[in-house]
Amino acid sequence: MPRIISVGTGIPSFAISQQETMELTKQLFSDSIKDLDRLLHVFHNGDIVKRHFVKSIDWYKEDHSFSEKNTAFIREAETLAIEAIQQCMNAADLKFAYNEIDAIFMVTTTGIATPSLDARIMNQLPFSPHMKRVPIWGLGCAGGAAGLSRAYEYCLAYPGAKVLLVAVELCSLTFQKDDISKSNLIGASLFADGAAAVLITGDEVHRMNCSQPLPKIIATQSTLMPDSLNVMGWDIKDHGLYVVFSKSIPSIVEKWLEPNVQQFLTSNGIDKEDIAHFVAHPGGKKVIAAYEKALRLDPEKSKHSRTILNEYGNMSSVTVLFVLQKFLEEQINVGDYGLITALGPGFSSELLLLRWS
C-alpha cells in the first residue's frame, strides 16, 4: 500500500491573536450589525488563541478589489507552498531529489490562478519538466484529505511513483469587510492562512532509512450528501468570495458521519474501537465535539486536532495535514490503525484508513 513519508508546512509571518481579530471585527461592524457584542462570543468560545495571516491586521481594515486580493493570493500562496515543499522534502529520510517526483497534486479553494500554482512552483524549484500536474480546486476543508486520496490512487496505479500533495489556503484574503452576514462573522472568527506538503510513495519505492514506523494508506472513501449544496461553500460576487457556512454543520456531523464511518470501517473488516489514532480536520470547536459524540471518541484522541485549532485556526484544506504532521512526530506502534477524516462543500466527507508499518 502507498506510504506517507513526510509532511512540511508553510506558516505566514503575521501571527494575529484572537483578541486582535475580535477588536478588528468590532471596529468594522459596530455601526452595521445590531447586537454585535452578543455575536462576538464566537471569538471567545472557539478555542482559538492565535492564527496566521499573510497580511498585517491593518491591511484588512482597507478596501481591496477582487483583483487585488487574488493577485496577493497568487504571490503569497506560491511563497508558502514552496516553504512547505522544501520542509517536506528535507524531512524525508529518503532524501529524494526534486526531479525524482513523478506527480504533484495541488489543492486550493481560496484563490484563482491560471497557469495554476503548481506550474508557478515548478518555475522556482528543480522539478522535472515532465512531472504530472493535477490541480484540484473547490473542495474546501475536505481538500487536504481528498488530495491524499487522489495521491494514494495514483500510487496504486503507478507503484514506483513518488508524489507530492500540496495544499495552500489564504482564507484571510476572502474576508469581506462590508458583508454583515453571520457567516462572514463566523468566518472572521475561525479561518486562517497556511500551506502544507505531503510526500507519498508507492509500494515499489524501497529506498527506506526510516527511524520509526510510518503510516500506509489502506483504503479511502469519498461521500457526497444529496441536496446539501447550501451547507458550505462560496457565493462568488463582484467583490470576491463570500463564505457560506451553515449553522447546521455540527448537527449534520453528529447524524450523518457515524453511519458513514461505520460503513467504511465495516467494509474494511475493522471496528471503530480498532482506531487508535484519529486524524480529524478541526473545522471548529463544535465540529470536533460533534466528531467525538458521533463516533463516541475519548477526547484524548482529538488532542492534536484541538492543538492545531488552538494555535492556527481553521486553514481549510491545509489544517488536517498540520494534524497529520503531529502524528508523524510521534512514536506510534507498528500495526496501529488511524483514520483521517475531513468534511467540505458538497456537502461531502473524505475518509482514509491508515496502518503504521
pLDDT in tens, 259-304: 898 899 999 999 988 999 999 999 888 888 888 888 888 888 899 9
Model pLDDT, residue 86: 96
- Residue pair 185/172 in contact by the 8 Å Cβ criterion: no
Instruction: Decide if pLDDT at 94 tops 70.
Output: no
Active site residues: 141
Residue range(s) of every CATH 3.40.47.10 domain in the chain: 3-201, 215-356
What's the whole-number average pLDDT of the chain?
A: 90
Q: 3-201 architecture in CATH? A: 3-Layer(aba) Sandwich (3.40)
Model pLDDT, residue 112: 94
Region at 356 (left for phi over 0; alpha for psi -120 to 50; beta for the rest): beta
Cβ neighbourhood burial of 341 (10 Å; 0-12, 13-18, 19+): buried
pLDDT in tens, 101-117: 999 999 999 999 999 99
Amino acid letter, 74: I
pLDDT in tens, 37-59: 777 777 777 789 999 999 999 99
Model pLDDT, residue 92: 61
What CATH topology corresponds to 215-356? Peroxisomal Thiolase; Chain A, domain 1 (3.40.47)
- Reported confidence tier of residue 184, pLDDT bands at 50, 70, 90: confident
Going by C-alpha positions, the residue among 233, 249, 345, 355 that lies closest to residue 294 is 249
- Reported confidence tier of residue 23, pLDDT bands at 50, 70, 90: confident
